[in-house]
């Protein structure tokens, strides 16, 4: 299935936490949206690959995703190797996403830190005619999830997810083995989203980074208030 948006992350539940609101919003706008987990999360302290699969299916239902893909790389052993790049290239060529969403570059978990490097490199190679098998495809836009904890830069833009916040929380809490204290996790998610929301005058938001400058043709219609 060709997708408009495809989000990548290392473990089941990472996507829901970092960009679940954006994915929900794009689904509501009628776009075909998918998510790709690189591992099965089998190294997590709680649960295993089987319980996390069941939780992932419920979360995917809540998000309304058209596709949920798992690359089945080994958890706690995600490296930017040619073998793993080839697997991601195959996914990009099969699903031909216009936009991909990847984690921020600065991360505490090594899998999280390597994932954006691996996917970014695969996105480049996927656009080379003579690389690997299948018809070449390169996404038009790459977005990095902004990390309040590790990224000193301000986000390039913030997406208003106020209307999607309750569903985002529900998608995260579907991972019951990972978040047994539902109230604590809900509070943390709201506090995190509130910080971004305040940047744009909304209740809740998610921050994203893009490397390229943004083209503007009409400054009169630019959103946001300067004073």
Quote the tokens at residue 20.
Answer: 């679940």
Report the number of secondary-structure helices (H) and strands (E) in the chain. Answer: 6, 7
Q: Mean of the pLDDT values across residues 199-206?
A: 97
Does residue 211 or residue 150 have the better pLDDT? 211
- Report H helices in the chain: 14-28, 49-63, 82-95, 110-125, 165-173, 182-200
Count other Cβ atoms within 10 Å, centred on residue 202. 17
- Are the C-beta atoms of 21 and 159 separated by less than 8 Å? yes
Is 5-211 CATH 3.40.50.10320? yes
- Confidence category of residue 147, pLDDT binned at 50, 70, 90: confident
Give the count of alpha carbons within 13 A of 158, CB side only.
Answer: 25
pLDDT in tens, 162-197: 999 999 999 999 999 999 999 999 999 999 999 999
């Amino acid at each position: 299935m060709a997708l408009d948006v495809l989000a990548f992350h290392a473990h089941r539940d990472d996507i829901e936490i970092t960009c679940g609101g954006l994915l929900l919003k794009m689904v509501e706008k009628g776009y075909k949206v998918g998510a790709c987990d690189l591992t099965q999360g089998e190294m997590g302290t709680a649960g295993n690959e089987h319980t996390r699969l069941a939780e992932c299916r419920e979360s995917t239902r809540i998000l309304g995703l058209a596709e949920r893909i798992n690359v089945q790389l080994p958890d706690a052993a995600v490296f930017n190797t040619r073998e793993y790049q080839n697997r991601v290239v195959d996914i990009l060529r099969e699903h031909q996403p216009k936009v991909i969403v990847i984690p921020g570059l600065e991360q505490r978990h090594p899998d999280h830190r390597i994932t954006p490097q691996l996917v970014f490199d695969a996105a480049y190679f996927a656009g080379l005619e003579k690389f690997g098998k299948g018809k070449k495809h390169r996404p038009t836009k790459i977005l990095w999830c902004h990390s309040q904890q590790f990224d000193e830069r301000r986000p390039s833009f913030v997406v208003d997810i106020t209307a999607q916040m309750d569903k985002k929380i529900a998608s995260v809490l579907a991972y019951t083995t990972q978040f047994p204290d539902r109230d604590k996790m809900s509070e943390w998610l709201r506090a995190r989203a509130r910080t971004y929301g305040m940047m744009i005058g909304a209740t809740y938001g998610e921050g994203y980074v893009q490397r390229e400058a943004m083209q503007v043709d009409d400054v009169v219609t630019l959103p946001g208030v300067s004073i």
